[in-house]
């Protein structure tokens, strides 16, 4: 750092700068950087948070990959049983990255009370069912215990509980049509006991499922104890879901099919992919606006310091040395904006994460509150990217320094 550079830097960042005409413009530029960073943090955190939350909810009801008979693929109700005597069950050793495998079965029923009724899909689950993926959605009561003998405990959604006036401890009388039965035959009747009420906020599922012992479905369908409707597979890395889905398909019998939830619920996941484009577009616009504000501030600083530039040039300072002075000063201003932007933005995200201040319409977004995902990786990337792109944008306007004549600029007013 040469003598001229040091003097110029001190002059630009010195106290006299506070009373200059550029002060309001500099403050606006810093505010633009800060507001831009706040908006980028919120955009990325809520966008990724919403993507992750929705995929978690879809996986909680279906697993990441489903293994079923080809005849059951498009059916809500399990029609053709699959034996659990498979090489891949209960441990799928042929594919890495599988954390859990469970057998389930579904059957369409009708819940009836004294005043109302509603259709429901009973999801039969057994002792191999992992409640860890679902427990966070239990709003009241507890999860059933299917480890011992057959019982009538169920978990009902808050949607059905509110609609039918049911609560924990009540009986849910449920009717099921007999398979291949005559039109005048009596249906199966089960008096389920509600021990838990769940609320996932995902209306498509909350308006469909209740969870019961799989042995009820097996008995009504006249299946054996080692037969299920399909298998749900959970993996440890969602980003590899397509790859794992293909590997699973290659490692199961030819009579079975595998389907990822990204294919089964293609509309939902295609909609989620649009979030990536929205995030990129918003970030690009914000950085462009912030860069333009910094360009304006830099030009005003250069104009205000024109006599000083002339003096430095007369003393022998090179154009690039003087340009670096203004670029370093601009970087300093950008850093101030980023500091306040991060402080306020991350603070708002933590408040939303803890208290859920901002709500969403679950019919549209599948969640009742805006979820946020806070990760140091994307925060650092946003800050570094903003700093680098803004500096690059400032290189061109800083070139005006080389056009300033020492003799004319010293007399500049």
Give 299-316 pLDDT, tens digit per residue. 877 777 777 777 777 767
- Average pLDDT of the chain to the nearest whole number: 84
pLDDT band at 184 (very low <50, low <70, confident <90, very high): low
- The residue with tokens 């504000």 is 293
Which of these three, 207, 228, 249, is where a domain ends?
Answer: 228
pLDDT digits 0-9 by tens, 127-180:
989 998 888 899 999 999 888 888 899 999 999 999 999 999 999 999 998 776
Specify if 236 maps to a domain: no
Nearest of 164, 167, 64 to residue 110 by alpha carbon: 164
Are 33 and 158 contained in the same domain? no
Which of these three, 228, 256, 290, is where a domain ends?
Answer: 228
**Is the pLDDT assigned to residue 11 strictly greater than 70?**
no
Q: Which of 168-182, 380-394, 397-411 has the highest mean pLDDT?
A: 380-394
Are 202 and 290 contained in the same domain? no
**Is the pLDDT assigned to residue 9 strictly greater than 70?**
no
Q: State mean pLDDT over 176-203.
A: 82
* Helices marked H in 126-213: 158-164, 203-206
Specify if 260 maps to a domain: no
* Residue 76: predicted pLDDT: 76
* Residue 182: predicted pLDDT: 59
- The residue with tokens 């679950």 is 362
Are 47 and 109 contained in the same domain? no
pLDDT band at 210 (very low <50, low <70, confident <90, very high): very high
* Residue 78: predicted pLDDT: 78
Are 304 and 371 contained in the same domain? yes
Contact (CB, 8 A) for 362 and 368? yes
pTM of the model: 0.80
Specify if 180 maps to a domain: yes
Decide: helix, strand or coil at residue 257. Answer: strand
Radius of gyration of the chain (CA): 32
State the residue range of the domain holding 332: 3-56+269-410
Are 212 and 90 contained in the same domain? yes
* Residue 333: predicted pLDDT: 86
Are 221 and 298 contained in the same domain? no
* Residue 342: predicted pLDDT: 94
**Is the pLDDT assigned to residue 350 strictly greater than 90?**
yes
Are 106 and 181 contained in the same domain? yes
Q: How many domains does the chain have?
A: 2
- The more confidently predicted of residues 335 and 326 is 335
* Residue 261: predicted pLDDT: 93
Are 323 and 395 contained in the same domain? yes
* Residue 17: predicted pLDDT: 46
Are 42 and 89 contained in the same domain? no
* Residue 292: predicted pLDDT: 85
* Residue 19: predicted pLDDT: 46
- The residue with tokens 């003799």 is 407
Contact (CB, 8 A) for 44 and 279? yes
* Residue 4: predicted pLDDT: 44
* Residue 181: predicted pLDDT: 58
pLDDT band at 367 (very low <50, low <70, confident <90, very high): confident
Which of these three, 197, 228, 259, is where a domain ends?
Answer: 228
pLDDT band at 408 (very low <50, low <70, confident <90, very high): low
* Residue 401: predicted pLDDT: 67
Specify if 248 maps to a domain: no
Specify if 275 maps to a domain: yes
* Residue 115: predicted pLDDT: 86
**Is the pLDDT assigned to residue 15 strictly greater than 60?**
no
Say which residues have a Cβ less than 8 Å from residue 361's Cβ, sequence separation at least 6.
none
**Is the pLDDT assigned to residue 246 strictly greater than 90?**
yes
Are 90 and 213 contained in the same domain? yes
| Cα separation, 226 vs 208, whole angstroms | 26
Specify if 242 maps to a domain: no
Q: State mean pLDDT over 10-20.
A: 49
Q: State mean pLDDT over 91-97.
A: 87
Q: State mean pLDDT over 358-372.
A: 83
Specify if 240 maps to a domain: no
Measured between alpha carbons, how far is residue 305 from residues 27, 322, 324 in Å? 17, 11, 14
Say which residues have a Cβ less than 8 Å from residue 380's Cβ, sequence separation at least 6.
none
Are 146 and 198 contained in the same domain? yes
| Cα separation, 64 vs 232, whole angstroms | 7
Specify if 256 maps to a domain: no
Are 308 and 404 contained in the same domain? yes
């Amino acid at each position: 750092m040469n003598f001229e550079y040091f003097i110029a830097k001190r002059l630009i960042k010195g106290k006299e700068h506070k009373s200059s005409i550029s002060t309001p413009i500099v403050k606006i530029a810093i505010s633009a950087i800060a507001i831009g960073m706040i908006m980028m943090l919120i955009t990325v955190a809520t966008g990724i948070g919403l993507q992750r939350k929705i995929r978690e909810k879809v996986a909680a009801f279906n697993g990441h990959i489903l293994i079923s008979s080809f005849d059951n693929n498009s059916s809500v109700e399990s029609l053709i049983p699959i034996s659990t005597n498979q090489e891949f069950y209960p441990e799928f050793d042929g594919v890495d990255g599988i954390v859990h495998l469970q057998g389930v079965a579904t059957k369409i029923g009708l819940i009836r009370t004294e005043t109302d009724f509603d259709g429901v899909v009973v999801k039969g689950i057994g002792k191999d069912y992992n409640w860890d993926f679902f427990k966070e959605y239990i709003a009241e009561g507890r999860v059933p215990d299917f480890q011992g003998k057959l019982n009538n405990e169920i978990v009902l959604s808050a949607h059905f509980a509110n609609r039918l006036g049911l609560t924990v401890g009540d009986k849910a009388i449920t009717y099921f049509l007999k398979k291949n039965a005559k039109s005048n035959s009596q249906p199966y009747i089960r008096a389920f006991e509600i021990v838990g009420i769940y609320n996932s906020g995902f209306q498509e599922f909350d308006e469909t499922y209740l969870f019961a012992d799989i042995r009820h479905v097996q008995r009504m369908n006249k299946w054996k104890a080692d037969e299920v409707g399909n298998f749900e597979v959970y993996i440890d890395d969602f980003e590899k879901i397509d790859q794992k889905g293909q590997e699973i398909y290659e490692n199961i019998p030819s009579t079975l099919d595998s389907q990822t939830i990204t294919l089964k619920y293609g509309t939902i996941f295609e909609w989620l992919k649009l979030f990536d484009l929205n995030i990129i577009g918003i970030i690009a616009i914000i950085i462009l606006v912030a860069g333009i504000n910094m360009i304006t501030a830099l030009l005003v600083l250069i104009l205000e310091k024109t006599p000083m530039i002339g003096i430095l040039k007369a003393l022998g300072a090179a154009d690039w040395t003087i340009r670096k002075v203004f670029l370093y000063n601009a970087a300093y201003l950008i850093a101030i904006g980023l500091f306040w932007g991060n402080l306020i933005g991350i603070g708002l995200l933590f408040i939303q994460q803890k208290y859920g201040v901002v709500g969403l319409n679950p019919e549209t977004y599948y969640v009742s509150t805006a979820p946020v995902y806070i990760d140091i990786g994307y925060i650092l990337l946003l800050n570094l990217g903003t700093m680098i792109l803004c500096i690059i944008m400032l290189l061109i306007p800083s070139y005006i320094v080389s056009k300033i004549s020492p003799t004319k600029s010293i007399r500049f007013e």
